[in-house]
Amino acid sequence: MRPRDRDDLGGEELVVVWIGRVVEVWSVWPSSRREISGGPASWRAEERPFDSPGRAGDPALMTNQARHPAAVVVALALLLAACQTTSVPELTDPRAIVTSAAEMAAGAKSAHVDVTIDGALEVGGGSAVSLDVNGTTASADLDITGKALMATFDSPVLVGVRGELIVKDGSAYAKTSLTGARYLLVGSDGAGVAAALDPQTLLRGLDRLLADPSISPTLGAARQCTGTDCYVVRVDLPPDVLAGLGSVTAGLPFAVDLAGATATLELAVRKSDKRPGELVLTVKGGAADLTARFTFSKWDETVTVGAPPADQIQPAP
Question: How far is Cα 271 from Cα 315, in angstroms, rounded to an integer?
Answer: 49
Share of the chain above pLDDT 90, in %: 32
> Which residue type, as a one-letter code, is found at position 187?
G
Range 94-144+196-302: architecture per CATH: Clam (2.50)
- 99-118, pLDDT tens digit by residue? 999 999 888 999 999 999 99
Question: How far is Cα 103 from Cα 106, in angstroms, rounded to an integer?
Answer: 5
Q: Please state, in angstroms and as integers, the Cα–Cα distance from residue 15 to each residue in 19, 46, 217, following that order.
A: 13, 18, 56
Is 0.75 surpassed by the pTM of this model?
A: no
At 23 the pLDDT is 42
**CA-CA-CA-CA torsion for 42, 45, 50, 54, nearest 10 degrees?**
40
- Give me the chain's average pLDDT, please: 74
At 68 the pLDDT is 52
At 195 the pLDDT is 64
As a three-state string, the secondary structure of the chain is CCCCCHHHHCCCEEEEEEECCEEEEEEECCCCCCECCCCCCCCECCCCCCCCCCCCCCHHHCCCCCCCHHHHHHHHHHHHHHHCCCCCCCCCCHHHHHHHHHHHHHCCCEEEEEEEEEEEEEECHHHCEEEECCCEEEEEEEECCCCEEEEEEEECCCCCEEEEEEEECCEEEEEECCCCCCEEEEECCHHHHHHCCCHHHHHHHHHHHCCCCCCCCEECCCEEECCEEEEEEEEEECHHHHHCCHHHHCCCCCCCCCCCCEEEEEEEEECCCCCEEEEEEEEEECCEEEEEEEEEECCCCCCCCCCCCHHHECCCC
What number is the average pLDDT over the span 262-285?
92
**45/208: higher pLDDT:** 208
> Which residue type, as a one-letter code, is found at position 72?
V
Residue 266 has pLDDT above 50, yes or no: yes
> Which residue type, as a one-letter code, is found at position 139?
S
Name the residue ranges covered by the structural domains of the chain: 6-83, 94-144+196-302
- 2-52, pLDDT tens digit by residue? 444 444 444 444 444 444 444 444 444 444 444 444 444 444 444 445 445
Cβ burial 95-120 (10 Å sphere, 16+ → b, else e) = eebbbbbbebbeebebbbbebbbbbe
pLDDT band at 314 (very low <50, low <70, confident <90, very high): confident
- 57-78, pLDDT tens digit by residue? 454 444 444 445 555 555 555 5
Q: What is the CA radius of gyration of the chain?
A: 34
CA-based angle 306:307:308, to the nearest 5?
115
Question: How far is Cα 1 from Cα 146, in angstroms, rounded to an integer?
Answer: 78
pLDDT band at 212 (very low <50, low <70, confident <90, very high): confident
At 169 the pLDDT is 87
At 188 the pLDDT is 62
Interhelix angle 94-106/199-209, nearest 10 degrees: 150
**261/220: higher pLDDT:** 220
> Which residue type, as a one-letter code, is found at position 58?
D
Residue 227 has pLDDT above 80, yes or no: yes
* Four-residue CA torsion sign, 235, 215, 229, 276: positive
At 4 the pLDDT is 43
Contact 296, 101 (CB under 8 A): no
Residue 79 has pLDDT above 70, yes or no: no
- Identify the bridge partners of residue 129 per DSSP, sorted by sequence position: 123
Residues 6+ apart with CB under 8 A from 253: none
Question: How far is Cα 216 from Cα 95, in angstroms, rounded to an integer?
Answer: 9
